[in-house]
Amino acid sequence: MNKTILLKNRPKGKPTLNDFKFVEEEKPGEKEGEILLKTKYISVDPYLRGRMRDEESYIPPFKLNEPIESGIIAEVIESRNPNFSKGDYVNGMLKWKQFQTSSGNGLNKVNKELAPLTAFLGVLGLTGITAYLGLEKIGKLKKGECLLVSAAAGAVGSVAGQIGKIKGCRVVGIAGSDEKIKRIKEKFGFDEGINYKTTDDLKKAIAEACPDGVDVYYDNVGGEIMDAAMANINKYGRLIICGAISLYNKTEIPMGPRHEGTLIKKSVLMQGFTVRDFVKDFGPAINHLSSWYKEGKLTYSETIVEGFDNVPQAFLDLFEGKNKGKMIVKV
Amino acid sequence: MNKTILLKNRPKGKPTLNDFKFVEEEKPGEKEGEILLKTKYISVDPYLRGRMRDEESYIPPFKLNEPIESGIIAEVIESRNPNFSKGDYVNGMLKWKQFQTSSGNGLNKVNKELAPLTAFLGVLGLTGITAYLGLEKIGKLKKGECLLVSAAAGAVGSVAGQIGKIKGCRVVGIAGSDEKIKRIKEKFGFDEGINYKTTDDLKKAIAEACPDGVDVYYDNVGGEIMDAAMANINKYGRLIICGAISLYNKTEIPMGPRHEGTLIKKSVLMQGFTVRDFVKDFGPAINHLSSWYKEGKLTYSETIVEGFDNVPQAFLDLFEGKNKGKMIVKV
């Protein structure tokens, strides 16, 4: 049989297990030109929360009672498509199913020799590309500048910080536990870390960690952490608004201080970043990331949860910060 | 004698006449290399409110008990500088004094043949350059797009809207009276106007006036009008944050809805714009504006108040929207 996970309800506020539904289907058969895929690793990501809303965004919303999809590594177990062979591993946006067929469009073969399979969902996949292109296209990070990263121990944040160090910047990370702060400094080479949960005055803590101010802020969380970063932004500063996990489960648009005054006074740029806008730049991004990885300049953390049945819970755990780096379910 | 206007107090909230002080000094004499200037026209502008605060910004704050300065057209009445002749008119940042000396640095001679003197404080001066370069450098306005302008009947807004029409865009303006709406449509050629004071639902009014959404928003006001523009912004929209008159007199940072979500979903760019960041582009900007003016494609409104003694009141009236277009005091 073939287990599939459907979106049962559009979550109100924080999603719950009850928003997902498991169904069992017949295992599909591939047609001429298709491949049959067995799911190996499923990426669960905060941005999926946005697709659970019935509203216009950069990708269409999930439909109710249809399978959810995300980044997946799958094994080709049958092939009637000359571009793929049995035993190949592929990476792409696929459905939360144990087995599925595909025409192969939009799938990339994975080079198992380069890195472990899960790396292609993280540092060498969309996560790494997001960190790299956000800094490149919006941050325009230059040697000697100060880079501040929120959710710094997370999948995107930890890569962004390492790229900052490769580029010769001072890099400061914000995260939510002392263990995460230790990790970003010891494992990922951040110069300084701030535990926002135990800091009374985040604005002051950033000022101390970034004595020359913040030139580029890589934002994965939004909300009050972004406000504190903005309070320390330098003239001509750039804010890469890549994620807003602090806002995703809100049922109304939250209020916060207006930033127009700071934007004007300091000629600040603030721009929403969606990696899908830069598909044509994925190739060069992957080349940079792969080279750095091979040279040992780029490492990663991941949390691997076992079992297809645990996909929804792994997704929910993202909003509790239970993951170390990239959250992945091994099927 | 020589009347001078000093900043007496740093205003708390809305400035009052009591924040200014008139003093009389001896009329100065020019030294070798200097010119003696007689003030003819003084520009009063909302951004001066920012310089009255004791805080870091794109230009240093005014000092207490020192003369305020702004854009001024003055006549050269004595010259011991070979670059200037008696009878020349110059334009530059000068002090609120009836007479003053200058080395000539930073002053530009005005071509009286091209346009009336006051135009060089407005459409052919910093105001026009602000409108032009904001659209050019941040808005990157393209033919066929929809441009929304706030404070559309104001000095910068009215020029921005006319440039939008010259570039072949749909242009919609927001202003605070039916008379202003009539003017932006009839005099400045805006396609549509919205009186925010008599509109119940500004978000809906913008949606109706911009049926294909807003591509570029030229913001001179900030606050709730900006929120309503953001609610109608298109994918890849750009917000030129040029002024925030609605916030200038606030004593605390006002709260408003957080825009991070929209920035991400629609890949929106929001950038603070200060014309002084682009001094090297002033030449080409003036050339474009002058050509359009000569071709009759660019017109302007101005409110001219008579008398040096009325400079402070004219400045205060800006915050009541009492000006039609550029507010100027004739000395």
What is the residue whose two structure tokens read 């704050």? B61
What is the per-residue pLDDT for A167? 97
What is the per-residue pLDDT for B87? 96
The residue ranges of DSSP E strands in chain B, in sequence order, are 2-7, 20-25, 35-43, 69-79, 89-95, 99-102, 108-109, 146-149, 170-175, 192-195, 214-219, 233-241, 255-257, 269-272, 302-306, 326-330
* Chain B: closest CA distance from residue A292 (Å): 28
The residue ranges of DSSP E strands in chain A, in sequence order, are 2-7, 20-25, 35-43, 69-79, 89-95, 99-102, 108-109, 146-150, 170-175, 192-195, 214-219, 233-241, 255-257, 269-272, 302-306, 326-330
What is the per-residue pLDDT for A206? 98
The stretches of B98-197 forming alpha helices (DSSP H) are: 126-133, 155-166, 178-186
Segment B153-195, tens digit of pLDDT: 999 999 999 999 999 999 999 999 999 999 999 999 999 999 9
Between strands A233-241 and A170-175, the pairing is unpaired
Segment B216-228, tens digit of pLDDT: 999 999 999 999 9
For chain A, domains (ranges, CATH) are 2-122+300-330 (3.90.180.10), 126-276 (3.40.50.720)
What would the two tokens of residue A130 be?
């997001």
Please, is B38 exposed, middle or buried when counting C-beta atoms within 10 Å of its C-beta (0-12, 13-18, 19+)? middle
Cβ separation of A274 and B256 shorter than 8 Å? no
Segment A167-221, tens digit of pLDDT: 999 999 999 999 999 999 999 999 999 999 999 999 999 999 999 999 999 999 9
Cβ separation of B264 and A244 shorter than 8 Å? yes
What is the per-residue pLDDT for B247? 79
Which pTM does this prediction carry? 0.88
What would the two tokens of residue B204 be?
């809906």
The mean per-residue pLDDT over the stretch B294-311 comes to 95
Cα(A101)–Cα(B123) distance, integer angstroms: 63
Between strands A170-175 and A146-150, the pairing is parallel
Which residues of chain B neighbour A223 with C-beta distances below 8 Å?
258, 260
ipTM given for this complex: 0.86
Q: Least CB-CB distance to A272: which of B255, B258, B266?
A: B266
* Chain A: closest CA distance from residue B249 (Å): 11
pLDDT at A327 over 90: yes
The number of C-beta contacts closer than 8 angstroms across A and B is 124
φ and ψ at residue A77, rounded to 5 degrees: -105, -15
* Chain A: closest CA distance from residue B82 (Å): 38
Average confidence score pLDDT of chain A? 94
Chain A residues at the B interface, defined by Cβ less than 8 Å, are 50, 56-58, 219, 222-223, 226, 235-236, 241-244, 247, 253-258, 260-274, 277
* Chain B: closest CA distance from residue A239 (Å): 10
* Euclidean distance between the first and the last CA atom of chain A, given in angstroms as a whole number: 14
Q: Least CB-CB distance to B255: which of A258, A260, A269?
A: A258
Cα(B304)–Cα(B312) distance, integer angstroms: 14
Nearest to B7 by CA among B69, B74, B57: B69
The mean per-residue pLDDT over the stretch A301-329 comes to 93
Segment A217-273, tens digit of pLDDT: 999 999 999 999 999 999 999 999 998 877 777 778 889 999 999 999 999 999 999
Cβ separation of A272 and B262 shorter than 8 Å? yes
Which residues of chain B neighbour A58 with C-beta distances below 8 Å?
235, 264-267
Cβ separation of B260 and A241 shorter than 8 Å? yes
How many other C-beta atoms lie within 10 A of the C-beta of residue A175?
A: 27
| Type of residue found at B55 | E
Average confidence score pLDDT of chain B? 94
Strand partners, A42: A72, A329
Which residues of chain B neighbour A247 with C-beta distances below 8 Å?
258, 260-261
Q: Least CB-CB distance to B258: which of A50, A235, A247?
A: A247
* Chain B: closest CA distance from residue A255 (Å): 4
pLDDT at A117 over 90: yes
**Is residue B118 classed as helix, strand or coil in its secondary structure?**
helix
The residue ranges of DSSP E strands in A129-198, in sequence order, are 146-150, 170-175, 192-195
pLDDT at A77 over 80: yes
* Euclidean distance between the first and the last CA atom of chain B, given in angstroms as a whole number: 14
